[in-house]
Chains A and B, each alone.
Chain A
Amino acid sequence: MAERQLLSGNEAVALGALHAACARGTGYPGTPSTEILENYDAIGGHAEWAPNEKVAAEVALGVAFAGARAMVTMKHVGLNVASDVLFTAAYSGVQGALVFVVADDPGLASSQDEQDTRRYGMAAGVPVIEPADSQESYDYIRLAFTVSARWKMPVILRMTTRVSHTTAIVQPADVIESPITPHFVRDIPGRVMIPGHARIKHKALRAKLAEIQAWCETEGPNVLYPGSSGVGIVSSGVASMHAREACPDAALLKLGMTYPLPFKLILDFLHGQSSRYVIEENDPVLVEQIRAAGGDVPWNPEPYRMGELTVDRVRRLLKGDATPEATPPKGRSPRLCHACPHGYVFDILKKHDCIVSGDIGCYTLAALPPLAAMDSQICMGASIGIGLGLRHVLPESEARRVVSVIGDSTFIHSGLTGVAEMVFNPPPTGHVLIVLDNLTTAMTGQQEHPATGRRLDHTPTTRIMIEDVVRAMGIKNVTVLDPVRQTAELEATLLAALKTNELTVIVGRQPCLLAAGRIRSYEQKG
């Protein structure tokens, strides 16, 4: 018998993927999903960081087109980036298997929104499987690969913070799957999604989903906990755990597949209850669909769709308490490390009252007091486009103060096209872009990226030099400076650039304080 272990949900996904004969795991770091690939690599899987989630998904799709199994991991907003792949891969299907492991962040522990990945399943026509704890994370990644392989289509495994980052007991299975030998089988109508081919695939997709729905009714990963009080609850994910604790006498139908839904199972369950509830985190995805199918479940009061659920919030919900909830007292906010290189740059930007179009990374913390030196942050790479938009229309005196600030990993992720826009449609006053290059993907835990020169496992590879790329794209004024040791020069270069009507890129390069030691040891080894 395989040994029981304490694993986080992320570790359990990694182990389950390995046991499911996954050939390659790809992804981009994003809390709370990041540890999946790190663990997968540590236990012997082939894991890679891609420049962004779209490329990661494309690589995984290629693996699946070759007849092998792939998983691509990301946080919820990462699926926005990969969604172009998701929608068309639902039509093309796969020959092997492909699982999108997407980790949502209800309550926004570290994200720019709390969007609900289950809606992507509905929109794209892709099954969604939701584990509620570490054991299910292990079991359901394996199930996701099985469903994907059986119906030859992508599947979404939807995690949330409290599943990914909760450590609990896992009993791995004894049987693990044998490796699959990839082989290319030509299928032009199946993989070239021109309209004539795609029309046929759309019909085929709906037929597959109907089959999966029928399978889900009788063989799906749904669990019925009998009750004694006449209260019936439909739930999924970790919210089902809170519900079981809050209301131990209720009957509870825990859905493991939340798209397509087993409507017959759900309606039969609800029919036998004297009062009915749906307990779900974030969007009312289950409530909407169940009501549309004729189920008599109430809407939950609006405040409960925001923030993560807890046992206490579920107790309130079940009592019908829609009064304002007490705001929990705030702990100490995160901040830039003392002497972080980013601080030097933001001090300069603040001193000169720059309008800072910012981006996503540790440097986003500069938006908080006492620095309060970042004016916008929307999505990966937006710093450049938003800065240009501001410059195009603001009166000249204001336009000249606009600076875009982006990190090194974010630059490779989605900044290249922003620089293309910079040279293609330059504003009349020009523009200034500062790339904060701390030689790592810092906020998510110091991962590698294409401009560090090392792969996920820290082995050497080609290093993309940011300043070379930017010059090659047509920017003439490019300077690389150390923000810590060349602060005065950086300030002078910035001020001079703001006065001209030219395009300037300043690369401020100094290793992240937390990563510096390890970077040195990798460089010595390489």
Chain B
Amino acid sequence: MKTEQPINIRIAGLGGMGILKSSHILAKVLFRAGYDVKLAEVHGMSQRGGSVTSDIRFGKKILSPMIPNAEVDFLLILAPEEIELHRPSLRPGGILLNALAFDTVALPNRKSLNIALLGTLSGYLDIPIESWQLTILDSFPQKLHAINVESFTTGRNLAQGGAR
């Protein structure tokens, strides 16, 4: 992937949706793939159901941790009601991946929507699928492995189907 300029990913939704969890998994995958990575999150009040946003930037060298206006390359939205709030942050040609894409697709557990969206994102990034799977296994206790790997795969299949 061309990374002279940072590639910018924003994950957004409401508290309790696993945004921070999926952000950390994403950051780890990118770190292990050898990129410079910064993940910016603001938390403390997010548990109380408020809006949560995290910015993940990766490339050769990342300076500011926060994505400048209208420079988001991939926008992952877990709460459909937050889409319009975040849409202006997308770069022209940037890709919106949203929870609505999973309404008609069976997910083992709605709580793993955050991982399913990571799966869809993975279809756009040139990182071996094994790296994603390894990091997901690292990030959850044994009993949650199957559910999350399955959700990830479901999401990745959507990307390969060309979903927007």
Contacts and interface: CB of A to CB of B under 8 A. Distances in A.
Interface of A: 6, 31-32, 34, 109-110, 133, 161-162, 165-169, 238, 241-242, 244-245, 310-312, 329, 331-337, 362, 365, 443-445, 514
Most chain B CB within 10 A, of A167, A337, A445, is at A167
* Majority DSSP secondary structure for residues of A touching B: loop
A331 B51 contact: yes
B46 A162 contact: no
Contact of B44 (A6, A310, A312, A445): A445
18 contacts: A6-B28, A31-B43, A110-B44, A110-B45, A165-B41, A165-B42, A166-B39, A167-B24, A167-B39, A241-B65, A311-B66, A311-B68, A332-B49, A335-B50, A362-B48, A444-B44, A445-B47, A514-B47
Given A241-B64, A312-B69, A335 B49 contact: yes
A361 to B, nearest CB: 12
Interface string B101-126: 00000000000000000000000000
B150 interface: no
B68 A310 contact: yes
A334 B40 CA distance: 19
A369 to B, nearest CB: 14
B7 interface: no
A444 B45 CA distance: 8
Interface residues of B, number: 32
B66 A310 contact: yes
Contacts of B46: 334
A311 B64 CA distance: 7
Interface string B84-113: 010000000000000000000000000000
A109 B50 contact: no
Interface in B21-58: 24, 27-28, 31, 36-51, 53
Contacts, number: 98
Contacts of A365: 48
Given A6-B28, A331-B51, A162 B66 contact: yes
B76 interface: no
A241 B42 contact: no
B63 A245 contact: yes
A396 to B, nearest CB: 38
Nearest to B44: A31
B51 A162 contact: no
Interface in B108-149: none
B15 interface: yes
A168 B59 CA distance: 12
Nearest to A107: B42
Contacts of A337: 47-49
B50 A168 contact: no
Given A166-B38, A167-B38, A334 B45 contact: yes
A165 B27 CA distance: 14
B36 A310 contact: no
B14 interface: yes
A245 B63 CA distance: 6
Contacts of B42: 109, 161, 165
Contact of B64 (A32, A167, A310, A336): A310
A312 B48 contact: no
Given A6-B31, A337-B49, A32 B44 contact: yes
A161 B65 CA distance: 11
A168 B64 contact: no
Given A331-B51, A334-B15, A445-B44, 6 more contacts: A31-B43, A162-B66, A165-B41, A242-B64, A331-B53, A335-B48
A370 to B, nearest CB: 14
Nearest to B23: A167
A332 B17 CA distance: 14
A168 B45 contact: no
Nearest to B43: A165
Smallest CB-CB A-B distances: 4 pairs: A331-B51, A334-B50, A334-B48, A31-B44
B163 to A, nearest CB: 26
A442 to B, nearest CB: 9
B39 to A, nearest CB: 4
A333 B50 contact: yes
B65 A162 contact: yes
Contacts of B53: 331
Most chain B CB within 10 A, of A166, A241, A365, is at A166
B31 A336 contact: no
B61 to A, nearest CB: 10
Given A109-B42, A331-B85, A168 B48 contact: no
